[in-house]
Amino acid sequence: MNWIGLQNLLSGVNNYSTMFGRMWLSMVFIFRLLVFVVAVQYAWNDENKGLECNTHQVGCSTVCYDSIFPISHTRLWALQLIFVTCPSLMVVAHVKYREGKDKKNGSHQYPNPGKKKGGLWWTYLISLFFKAGFDATFLYILYYVYKGFTLPHLTKCSLEPCPNIVDCFISRPTEKNIFTWFMVVTSALCILMCVFEMTYLIGKRLCREFMSHHNNERYDMTNQQTLMSKHKTADTSLPGKQSMQIETYVKTT
């Protein structure tokens, strides 16, 4: 797969991301994608040939390999990276839609199309939920399928056509466990980044709404005080006017 093309496509998300979003994107492409392409794939390229079982029964090693590795780590992580990065395309598509709408109408309905206001704010927030959810889901799948995140040095297999319980040895289990835990930890950190960013966005919006509501209340109170002062001024001037009218009436009579 052309991972460089995906990186170039998502690099524009930095223009619309917060500090946490930029840290998340850097972690995904440096500590996950780059490590996956350069090192992780080569650590698992011999998982089938490197599995040795103490039997020469035809088909036994193949059946045991399928039982030990129901799904390849590398393919699972490749799917995870694809699913995790795809929600960011929602933000890019929404910004492009705004730009295209302004261009089509010849107006400036969105002076800053990348500003997270209105529908784009919700799109960005939903993309964070999806990214964190996908990462958490794939971590659970990995843990459920392999009964943990650590591969054993020795596994026992008794599936047909194996003649009895045979011992199977995984190739380079220590190296694979190191890379497995590295990918697990980086995935967990990415989830935390998404949670921090969601908290930041929601908190910032709540503060803005609170300040706007507070300013509106102060504005209303100021207007009420102004109106009350005007009424008081009018009330204090009223007796003077009435007395002048009475004096005028008496003189005329």
Q: Convert the pLDDT of each residue in 82-115 to its tens digit.
A: 899 888 888 888 777 777 777 777 666 665 566 6
Q: What's the pLDDT tens digit per position in 158-177?
A: 888 888 888 888 888 888 89
What's the whole-number average pLDDT of the chain?
79
CA-closest candidate to residue 50, choices 144, 141, 176: 176
pLDDT in tens, 195-206: 999 999 898 888
Q: The dihedral of CA 176, 178, 181, 187: what is its sign?
A: negative
Question: Which of these, 104, 37, 108, 109, lies nearest to 74 by C-alpha position?
Answer: 37
Long-range contacts of 18-23 (CB under 8 A, 24+ apart): 18/197, 18/200, 18/201, 20/193, 20/194, 20/196, 20/197, 20/200, 21/193, 21/197, 23/193
Residue 193's pLDDT band, with cuts at 50, 70 and 90, is very high
The mean pLDDT value for 16-21 works out to 81
pLDDT in tens, 231-253: 666 555 545 545 455 455 445 55
DSSP 146-177: TTSS---SEEEE--TT-SS-EEEE-SSHHHHH
pLDDT at 249: 45
pLDDT tens-digit map of 135-163: 999 999 999 998 889 988 888 888 888 88
Give 176's contacts (C-beta < 8 A, 6+ positions apart): 43, 44, 47, 73, 151, 170
The pLDDT assigned to 109 comes to: 63
pLDDT exceeds cutoff 50 at 184: yes
Q: Checking phi first, is residue 172 left (phi over 0); if not, alpha (psi -120 to 50) or beta?
A: left
